[in-house]
Every structure is written in structure tokens, then in C-alpha cells.
Amino acid sequence: MEFYQISFAKIYVLAPNLGEVIVDDGVNINVAMVDEIHQCFSSIFTKKFSLLINKRNSYSTELEALMKFGTHAGIDKIAVFAPNKMAKLSADFAADIPSSAELNILVFTSREEALTWLTQS
């Protein structure tokens, strides 16, 4: 499976229009990091794409970074896989911020259900 390592995460290419992001444990994501991941997305995906955000590791995201993440024009849908209660609380909060309201984003406690949703038309 093809993947890209950036300074704070790995991006796995699951399909030509589907990526999985796994952030390194203990990271605090800032706006510069969002710029970095957006550049990586632009180099990987040439058309609209969907993302699986895998929250298996514990990390935090600054509010400004959280608001900027979903602004990449190529993002179609985002599924967040939250495997535990703390990850789910964090993901639910992120999905409810105003900049996320325009995104097609759902939180799942099952990775398989998240992938199924992402691959449906």
C-alpha cells in the first residue's frame, strides 16, 4: 500500500480518490501543519477525494488549524474513525465547529463502517 510520510502524520492511499490519515501520537496540529498536509493532498490526489481520519493515536488540534483543515477544495467527504470514548468526544467536537458544517463529515466507532460510507456514492 502506498503511503506518504509528512512531519506529523502518515497518509495512506487506499484508492485513487481515498486516503487515510493517521496522525502521530502526542502531536499538537497547528496551521502550518495543515498547510503541509494540504500540499501533500494536492500532490497525491488529482480529483475530488475522500478522507478517513484514523484517531487511533492521541493528538490535539489548535482551533484555527481545525477550522482550516476542511478548506481544501478537493475534499469530498470525511469519515472520522474514533476507536474510543475520548477520540469520539474530540471528533464530535471537531465535526460540529462552524467551518465543518459545510463539509460532508461523519464520525464512526467502526473503521469498516467509515470506509463503507466513504465508498458509497
Can you give the pLDDT at residue 121?
67
Rounded to whole angstroms, how far apart are CA atoms 107 and 72?
19
Contact 4, 11 (CB under 8 A): yes
C-alpha cell belonging to residue 97: 465547529
Can you give the pLDDT at residue 48?
96
At 56, which CATH number? Answer: 3.40.50.10600
CA angle, 97 then 27 then 94, to 5°: 10
Can you give the pLDDT at residue 92?
83
Report which of 114, 111, 78 is spatially closest to residue 94, judged by C-alpha positions.
Answer: 78
Can you give the pLDDT at residue 101?
52
Can you give the pLDDT at residue 2?
96
Q: What residues make up the domain containing 63?
A: 3-119
Question: What's the structural domain count of the chain?
Answer: 1
Query: pLDDT tens string for the chain (121 positions)?
Result: 899 999 999 999 999 999 999 999 999 999 999 999 999 999 999 999 999 999 999 999 999 998 899 889 999 999 999 998 988 888 888 877 766 556 788 999 999 999 999 999 6
Rounded to whole angstroms, how far apart are CA atoms 46 and 23?
22
